[in-house]
Amino acid sequence: MRELIQTLRNIYKIPELRDRILYTLLLLAVYRLGTYIILPGIDSTELQNSFNSGNGGGGLLGLFDIFLGGAFSRGSILALGIMPYISASIVVQLLGAVVPSIQKLRNEGDSGIKKLNQITRYLTVAITLGQSASYVVYLNSQYASATSQGTFFWITSVCILTAGTMFLVWLGERITDNGIGNGVSLLIMIGIISVFPAALINEFRVSLPMVFFIEVLALGVVTLAVVALTQAVRKVPVNYARHMMGSRMGQIGRGPSARQYIPLRVNSAGVMPIIFAQAIMFLPTTVLGLLNPDWIASANFLVDYTSVGYNIIFGILVILFTYFYTAITVNSTEIADQLKRNGGFVPGVKPGRKTAEFIDTILTRITLPGSIFLAIVAIFPAIAIRLGVSGSFAQFFGGTSLLIMIGVVLDTLQQVESYLLMRHYDGLMKSGRVKGRKQRSRATI
């Protein structure tokens, strides 16, 4: 505890880091305040009661509502959250793997990135217009008594929901530029965390003390396992060609303290396979609902995310998408070419194509256990519900919620750590780097 207090003092002593943290907290507070501003013509209390009574709170829409911190069920002006921007980013990223013109923009540096960001924003507007129209139609069909009817209500609601999403895009970019951490990821995480205290309190009320203790202990174990999955890497050793520098031998392109390995992550795809799989699971019910709503009853296992059929299909999709997303994000040929240009090589493997094949083989091998473990994490909330955990609390036992929270927290802590280490302070996460720095300073003296 004393070390934690000292670390917080060290953070306060760095003006830039302190200002960035306060700026981030301020914008996150603005976001949370916006989720309580309701669309004109909506009775939020009646709408939320209807949602929680079974019309949507227990299904996939309830899961979506958790990501938005309850804004969806309240009929907020931010009811769609940042999700349309996430969808647009995924589409642009996938297009970058198959469309040559977008691939060219990705290789043009800052100017190309700016153009891609602009394309993503335009696509976000288009996606938001479609989703906001669907949301208003959904409100009118399911909760007619809680909404104002008419064309004017439809037009104004679509415009407000679209403006709300674009405001969150702007808010996320401001956090990324002037705050700490990734702004878009923080907006998603803060929405998820906001419902955690209520879910924890509700679980405590409905469970026996010993059962509640076991559930919290299990949540801690699952969290540690997901952290291990997120941080796990396979280190591929790399040597660099040496050349004479006067009377000394040096390494081409590397200093003496550089890492001499390629870190290949066991879970290179992150949370994206689960997001893709959930999007695919939404499609059948959406299509059936448009063709004939009565057909949904015949495919009930696609709506109930606790059913065995749903989780088998969901788990298989997660494994397949893990391989797919790893293949488009980790380019073994590019890694091999960079090693060859810098005079690096994997011991016992020829540079160039052989190195690319070697890296690709390792990726294939480590992705298999990583994808299986990710699929287990994805379906674990359904398993927890089957074991008697309430639906709202079970969502934190795995799936997208837990992976997003852990990934964002680790990324933000690493950024804070870098600021502290630059100012020669001990960081939030203990590591050998701090001890190594002290030892080098003694040797210099």
pLDDT in tens, 388-405: 888 778 888 877 788 888
Could you tell me which residue, 155 or 240, shows the higher pLDDT? 155
Supply the pTM of this predicted model: 0.76
Q: Which domains does the chain have, with CATH numbers?
A: 1-194 (1.10.3370.10), 196-240+259-397 (1.10.3370.10)
Q: Do 128 and 165 form a contact (C-beta atoms < 8 A)?
A: yes
Quick one: CA dihedral 351, 330, 182, 267, positive or negative? negative
Alpha helices in 182-208 (DSSP H): 183-194, 196-206
Question: Which residues, at least 6 apart from 69, have a Cβ–Cβ distance to it below 8 Å?
Answer: 32, 35, 190, 191, 192, 194, 195
Could you tell me which residue, 200 or 400, shows the higher pLDDT? 200
Closest among 178, 156, 84 to 126, alpha carbons compared: 84
pLDDT tens digit sequence for 413-429: 888 888 777 776 655 55
Q: Report the 10 Å Cβ neighbour count for 11.
A: 18
Tokens encoding 403? 């992976």
Task: Please say if the pLDDT value at position 298 is more than 60.
Answer: no
Distance CA 95, CA 101 (A): 9
Q: What is the pLDDT of residue 287?
A: 62
Q: Do 272 and 325 form a contact (C-beta atoms < 8 A)?
A: yes
Chain mean position to CA 329: 15
* 349: DSSP letter: S
Looking up tokens 């070697």, which residue turns up? 358
Distance CA 248, CA 239 (A): 18
pLDDT band of residue 75 (cuts 50, 70, 90) is confident
Task: Please say if the pLDDT value at position 187 is more than 70.
Answer: yes
Q: What is the pLDDT of residue 192?
A: 84
Distance CA 420, CA 20 (A): 13
Closest among 69, 305, 64 to 198, alpha carbons compared: 69
Q: What is the pLDDT of residue 24?
A: 92
Task: Please say if the pLDDT value at position 141 is more than 80.
Answer: no
Q: How large is the average pLDDT for residues 78-95?
A: 85
Q: What is the pLDDT of residue 284?
A: 67
Q: Do 354 and 342 form a contact (C-beta atoms < 8 A)?
A: no
Q: What is the pLDDT of residue 442?
A: 38
Distance CA 199, CA 221 (A): 18
Q: Report the 10 Å Cβ neighbour count for 347.
A: 8
pLDDT tens digit sequence for 265-276: 888 888 778 877
Q: What is the pLDDT of residue 440?
A: 37
Closest among 187, 182, 212, 214 to 200, alpha carbons compared: 212
Distance CA 129, CA 113 (A): 24
Q: What is the pLDDT of residue 30?
A: 93
Q: Do 319 and 375 form a contact (C-beta atoms < 8 A)?
A: yes
Strand partners, 251: 242
| DSSP H or E run through 240 | strand 239-240
Distance CA 251, CA 165 (A): 50
Could you tell me which residue, 67 or 231, shows the higher pLDDT? 231
The 3-state DSSP class for residue 193 equals: helix
Tokens encoding 335? 């890694």
| H, E, C per residue of 268-283 | CCCCHHHHHHHHHHHH
Tokens encoding 153? 């209500």
* 76: DSSP letter: B
Tokens encoding 49? 């009661």
Tokens encoding 187? 């907006």
Task: Please say if the pLDDT value at position 139 is more than 90.
Answer: no
Q: Can you spell out the DSSP letters for 315-340?
A: HHHHHHHHHHHHHHH--HHHHHHHHH
Out of 43-52, 186-195, 391-400, least confident range: 43-52
When the pLDDT of each residue in the chain is averaged and rounded to a whole number, the result is 79
| DSSP H or E run through 90 | helix 83-98
Q: Report the 10 Å Cβ neighbour count for 71.
A: 25
Task: Please say if the pLDDT value at position 147 is more than 60.
Answer: no
Q: Name the maximum alpha-carbon separation found in the chain.
A: 86
Out of 87-91, 104-108, 200-204, 326-330, least confident range: 104-108
Task: Please say if the pLDDT value at position 212 is more than 80.
Answer: yes
pLDDT tens digit sequence for 337-369: 888 888 888 888 888 888 888 888 998 899 999
